[in-house]
Amino acid sequence: MANSRAFIQFYDEPMWESIRAQRWALQQCDDCSQYRYPPGPCCPHCVGMSASWKPLSGKGKIISWVVFHRQYFDNYKPPYNVVAVQLAEGPLVISNLVGPEPEGGWIGREVTICYEPDAEQGSIPKVKLSAPPAA
């Protein structure tokens, strides 16, 4: 077994630099203003070729989740969770929820981006619950 690790390519490097600085940024299309994830050469919405790197608000919402009870990587001891998060800016990212697990449902819970140390990348983005659910 091995550790999970990022596979960094040309378009990913600025994103990982921002994550190491603990200020995650993504490409935003200069033509239609949509955010891109994963980073790439053109906008998947309008096919625009120009983009600027913009920091994320750090906010999102859980749209799916799973708890793994089997170990697939040395650096993820079971049980561990994986969450799909819709960022406030639009893109869908996959991460881990840190801190207490939600009481009741996970879906729709608001989260904020946080960072954990990572031996290879310096920092890795995770998410934590923002606030208790509205009554």
Contact between 115 and 19 (Cβ < 8 Å): yes
pTM of the model: 0.90
CA distance 24 to 46: 23
Longest dimension (CA), the chain: 45
Domain boundaries, the chain: 13-129
What pLDDT was estimated at residue 120?
A: 83
| CA-to-CA separations, 89 to 47, 54, 85, 121, in angstroms, rounded | 18, 10, 11, 24
Q: How much is the pLDDT for 135?
A: 58
| Digitized pLDDT (tens) for each residue of the chain, 135 residues in all | 677 777 778 899 999 999 999 999 999 999 999 999 999 999 999 999 999 999 999 999 999 999 999 999 888 899 999 999 999 999 999 999 999 889 889 999 999 999 999 888 889 999 999 976 555
pLDDT value of position 1: 61
What's residue 80's pLDDT? 94
Handedness of CA 39, 45, 46, 52 (dihedral sign): negative
